[in-house]
Chain A
Amino acid sequence: MSILSMQNIEKSFDNIEVLKDISFSVEEGEVVSIIGPSGSGKSTLLRCATFLETIDSGLIAYNDEPVTTMVDGKCVYAKDLNNFRKRFGLVFQNFNLFPHYSVLKNMMDAPVSVLGRDKAEVEEECMALLKKMGLEDRADAYPCQLSGGQQQRVSIVRALAMKPEILFFDEPTSALDPELTGEVLKVIKELADENMTMVIVTHEMAFARAVSDRVIFMADGVIVEQGAPEDVFGDTQNERTKQFLANYNR
């Protein structure tokens, strides 16, 4: 059973096709990296998977439970999308932490006020997560008091506090300088080692190669090629992939 399955996804913005008949699925424990040039539809694909964008047609399902169904050629979404939202987490490129909440409140508020969980219990879990990140002494700090790398790590633990089955990353290090990138990538690597199911849109090729079970190369709204990292990065036979990767191997 796939955790996430997206079949024949089509998405246009103002008549410009951004996703052209894309199909892919993610299995439990799998780490999938999506690479490709800007404008290839990588981020849109993630935003469709997390319902930030609605697809024009296609099927999205979590654990084989359909999120969308096609009725008379129209794409219809399930009524209770929150039932699906609690299964995934999304880490944004620019963190999107709530600036008026402390680190701990950023993490605790959704589990408590959205999932209705016990406050004391959530606090204990969140503190444990912060401790794992080495951020326990920053629990009462506000996002503005943290470095970019720390903010992104907090946004990762905020997503983890919801106990998602799958975690999406939308270019998690693109807003960070190289020095801070490492600490975020290290966290993602640790999650991979713990068998967290993840889909990572990234421009960090070396990282994608090291951490992924599968790499998807997208260009112009289609999946050009996908496979094990050694195949895609090592000896791709695809001309478009070669051309893209050549920019990184200089």
Chain B
Amino acid sequence: MDLMTMVLKMSEGLGKTCAIFFLTLLFSLPLGMIVALLRRSKNKIVSNVTRFFISVLRGTPLMLQLIAVTYGPYYLFGLTVSRNKLIPVVIAFAINYAAYFAEIYRSGIDSMPVGQYEAAEVLGYSKVQTFMKIILPQVIRRILPSMTNEIVTLVKDTSMAFTVSYQEMFTIGKQIANSQTSFMPFIVAGVFYYVFNAIVGFAMGKVEDKMNYYEM
């Protein structure tokens, strides 16, 4: 198999790689915020249960979580494993990344000076208004560098979907490598991820520049 065919074949999986990436972000970014708010809840039971879930999701391999979500329903309840593996893959990714994002959000929210809340309170802002208009925009600005870090990791982590044989780019590359006994597909995959992350890095840099119009 020549290099061009290899690249073309692997490109077919790129759509699925992107699907994991964007769907994970779509669900984990808001879910992470909910988890962060639960984690900060004044109710000790709520915050401790949330803390426990975060520690499990961060403390066990994503690979294991992928297998658990994909095949767990079969082993536990005898349900057939769905042919479309995108659903369990995205569920596993979204939950895992929500846990990481939640901790980033939490650190950002905790770093806000109390004076911002007090100024808003005296001016009569409601709790929701204070959070949405005053706190959140500043938190986003503060956590952007850590978010970029996490998102870059997500790009590379999509390759983990090979463990459940989801036909994304890396899975296809691995299959070609096996059948052709060639190392070439791994190099191609490396280039793909590098370019993908270069784009992500550039985009996040632009977002950071856009938000840097003020100093904290």
Give which listed residue, A92, A94, A142, A158, contacts B214 with CB less than 8 A: A142
CB-CB under 8 A for A52 and B129, given A98-B134, A99-B214: no
CB-CB under 8 A for A114 and B124, given A99-B138, A100-B138, A143-B214: yes
When distances are taken between beta carbons in the complex, the residues of chain A under 8 Å from B122 are 50-52, 85, 88-90
Shortest Cβ gap from A171 to chain B (Å): 13
CB-based contact B129/A114 at 8 Å: yes
CB-based contact B123/A114 at 8 Å: yes
Determine if A86 is an interface residue (Cβ-Cβ < 8 Å): yes
CB-based contact A85/B124 at 8 Å: yes
Contact residues of A with B, CB < 8 Å?
50-52, 82, 85-86, 88-90, 92, 94, 96-100, 109-110, 113-115, 142-144, 158, 162
Determine if B133 is an interface residue (Cβ-Cβ < 8 Å): yes
Shortest Cβ gap from A116 to chain B (Å): 11
CB-based contact A110/B123 at 8 Å: yes
When distances are taken between beta carbons in the complex, the residues of chain A under 8 Å from B141 are 100
CB-based contact A144/B115 at 8 Å: no
When distances are taken between beta carbons in the complex, the residues of chain A under 8 Å from B198 are none
Determine if B202 is an interface residue (Cβ-Cβ < 8 Å): no
Determine if B150 is an interface residue (Cβ-Cβ < 8 Å): no
Determine if B118 is an interface residue (Cβ-Cβ < 8 Å): yes
**Which single residue of chain B is at the shortest CB-CB distance from A52?**
B118
CB-based contact A86/B124 at 8 Å: yes
When distances are taken between beta carbons in the complex, the residues of chain B under 8 Å from A98 are 116, 119-120, 134
CB-based contact A109/B124 at 8 Å: no
Query: Once bound together, how far apart are the Cα atoms of A82 and B125, in whole Å?
Result: 9
Shortest Cβ gap from B75 to chain A (Å): 50
The A-contacting residues of B in range 121-155, CB under 8 angstroms, are 121-125, 129, 133-134, 137-138, 141
Query: Once bound together, how far apart are the Cα atoms of A92 and B121, in whole Å?
Result: 13
Q: Contacts A50-B122, A110-B125 known; list 6 others, CB within 8 Å.
A: A97-B119, A98-B116, A99-B215, A100-B214, A110-B124, A114-B123
CB-based contact B119/A92 at 8 Å: yes
How many chain B residues have a CB neighbour from A under 8 Å?
A: 21
Contact residues of B with A, CB < 8 Å?
113, 115-116, 118-125, 129, 133-134, 137-138, 141, 213-216
**Which single residue of chain A is at the shortest CB-CB distance from B138?**
A100
CB-CB under 8 A for A52 and B123, given A96-B116, A100-B214, A142-B213: no
Query: Once bound together, how far apart are the Cα atoms of A211 and B213, in whole Å?
Result: 39
When distances are taken between beta carbons in the complex, the residues of chain B under 8 Å from A113 are 125, 129, 133
Query: Once bound together, how far apart are the Cα atoms of A99 and B138, in whole Å?
Result: 8
Give which listed residue, B118, B134, B213, contacts A92 with CB less than 8 A: B118
Please list the 10 inter-chain residue pairs (A to B) with the smallest Cβ-Cβ separation, ordered nearest first.
Answer: A144-B215, A96-B119, A96-B115, A110-B123, A114-B124, A142-B214, A85-B124, A90-B122, A82-B124, A100-B137
**Which single residue of chain A is at the shortest CB-CB distance from B113?**
A96
Query: Once bound together, how far apart are the Cα atoms of A120 and B60, in whole Å?
Result: 55
CB-based contact B121/A162 at 8 Å: no
Give which listed residue, B118, B125, B214, B216, contacts A114 with CB less than 8 A: B125
When distances are taken between beta carbons in the complex, the residues of chain A under 8 Å from B213 are 142
Query: Once bound together, how far apart are the Cα atoms of A92 and B138, in whole Å?
Result: 20
Give which listed residue, A52, A99, A100, A115, contacts B121 with CB less than 8 A: A52
Can you list 17 contacts pairing A with B, beta carbon distance less than 8 Å? A50-B122, A51-B121, A52-B121, A89-B122, A94-B115, A96-B118, A97-B119, A98-B116, A98-B134, A99-B214, A99-B215, A100-B138, A110-B123, A114-B125, A114-B129, A144-B215, A162-B123
Query: Once bound together, how far apart are the Cα atoms of A199 and B200, in whole Å?
Result: 53
CB-based contact A109/B115 at 8 Å: no
